[in-house]
Amino acid sequence: MLRWSLASLFLLHGLIHLLGPASAFGWGQAKALDGRISRPLGWLWMLNCLVFAAAAFLLGFKVSGWWALALLALLLSQALIFSAWSLAKAGTWINLMLLLPVLLAWGQARWQGQLRASLNALERSPTPVPSQGRPLASVPKVVQAWLRHSGALNYPPAQRVFLVQEGRLRLAWDGSWMPFHAQEQFNVQAPGYVWSADVAVLPILTLHGRDQYLDGQGELRVQALGWIPLSHATGASVDQGSQLRFLAEMAWFPSAALGANVRWSAAPDSSAVATLKDRDRSVSATFHFGPQGELLSVDAQRYLERPEGATLEPWHVDLDPISQRDFHGLRIPARSQVTWRLKQGDFHWLELELTDLQFD
């Protein structure tokens, strides 16, 4: 309904431009406007009307790229308004009003283009490790119990994983919780991932966030409206944190635990330490298991990005065993929480729930 209302505004604004040829050619009751606009410009006003109508049509029928035609129509309209300022200056306010949804659509298209480029890079990522995994007997018994409990041993090792999340996050202890919707895709063998989230900051403002790990390099990016940069982080500390995130998120594709790039060692209290090697860097995390083999939590030392510089801090992921769901034969904890255990206290900043998980 909103889409068609907006399309109607573009069409109506376009029809108003017919006053231009009416003035140029003396149509109908436009005698008061006769001669105010030249005949050559009259044809441009008519063309502008048609461009607005075409943009409205594309918008109404959800044709991608409608915003480009609408932007062209607005720019031409404003140029024509300047040529007949005393007659048409009020149209400037309408153009400015219609420019906002065009910029929003352009930003969304720009963000989606960047996301597609990252996903294509993820698909093309080389596999720096042998595809042959480790035998089950080579990992600690608690890890074996987890793999049996999850059902991962009933399937070939996952190569690609796609999941959908709903959740909320905050950026400070006293900050407001902000809901988000996210999608994440993994290349398990590479290893790598691309996580893209829409965060609702205000009813009319959504931030776009992307966290990715490609070819051994991490990147964090946040933009408003798809084109206003708010945050961008790269570097060694981001690389380490992104690689650790991939390791912890094996909770959602347990077969990766037997990958040739993962080494396990037993730890006290039904725990095991996993070390993921990618190129010349290794990261480790401690996985904690329940009596039935269910994965309960993951702990690691991860870099926290701060304005004054990254610091290595305890990072804790809780996986709710009660929330276990069957995703195509895999028993996976659907709900999780992430906490930074800082000197000044625990900063519980993220909660999420898996709503869909696909793998092949």
Q: Cα 329 to chain center, whole Å? A: 27
Q: What 3-state DSSP class applies to 129?
A: coil
Q: Judge contact between 303 and 282, C-beta under 8 A.
A: no
Give pLDDT tens digits for 152-201: 999 999 999 999 999 999 999 889 999 999 999 999 999 999 999 999 98
Query: What would the mean pLDDT of 221-243 be, rounded to a whole number?
Result: 94
Q: How far is 255 from 282, CA to CA, in rounded Å?
A: 19
Residue ranges of the chain assigned to CATH 2.50.20: 129-359
Residue 72: is its pLDDT beyond 90?
A: yes
Residue 30: is its pLDDT beyond 70?
A: no
Considering the chain, what percentage of its residues have pLDDT values greater than 70?
96
Structure-token pair, residue 332: 């996976």
Give pLDDT tens digits for 120-150: 999 998 765 555 678 999 999 999 999 999 9
**Through-space distance between the first and last CA atoms of the chain, rounded to whole angstroms:** 38
User: What does DSSP assign to residue 171?
Assistant: S
Looking at domain 129-359, its CATH class is mainly beta
pTM, 2 dp: 0.89
Nearest alpha carbon to residue 36 among 16, 20, 14, 55: 20
